[in-house]
Amino acid sequence: MTRKATCSCGQLRVTCTGEPVRISVCHCLACQQRTGSVFGTQARFHRDDVAIEGNSTTFARTGDSGTTAIFHFCPTCGSTVYWEFVSTPEFVAVAVGNFADPSFPRPRHSVYEERQHAWVSIVDDGSMERMN
């Protein structure tokens, strides 16, 4: 399986092969601010399964857990496309929305649900792991 994620203008592109090792939603306030939405959604892939093309600008942020993430966004359109965690350099996280694929597999993990907006409801088929 090959999946392609791009920024809004198409300048920054990520091609992922194989299946993601983790797909999750994060309700933390920092993800809400980063995405401009009420949560962030990511798919993590092994770094060896990811090819990146185009230029990016970076922003590093240390989260509540003490882990630092380095976010890569397009310097032209501003879309955050992928990020790396300093603590787990063997993985690359890609914003699920940048795949622009409604058939993309559903998240199996949910974090920071105590910060979830009251009107947000994620349908759970019983396989969602809550990780607060």
Q: Which residue has the higher pLDDT, 34 or 127?
A: 34
Q: What are phi and psi of 30, to 5 degrees?
A: -65, -40
- Nearest-5° angle of CA 85, CA 108, CA 116? 80
Q: Please determine, for residue 56, whether its predicted confidence score (pLDDT) is greater than 70.
A: yes
Question: What predicted TM-score, i.e. pTM, was given to this entire model?
Answer: 0.89
Q: What are phi and psi of 11, to 5 degrees?
A: -70, -40
42: enclosing H helix or E strand: strand 40-46
Q: Which domains occur in the chain, in start order?
A: 2-120 (2.170.150.70)
The per-residue pLDDT for range 67-125, each reduced to its tens digit, is 899 999 999 999 999 999 999 999 999 999 999 999 999 999 888 788 878 888 776 66
| CA pseudo-torsion sign 86, 69, 109, 54 | negative
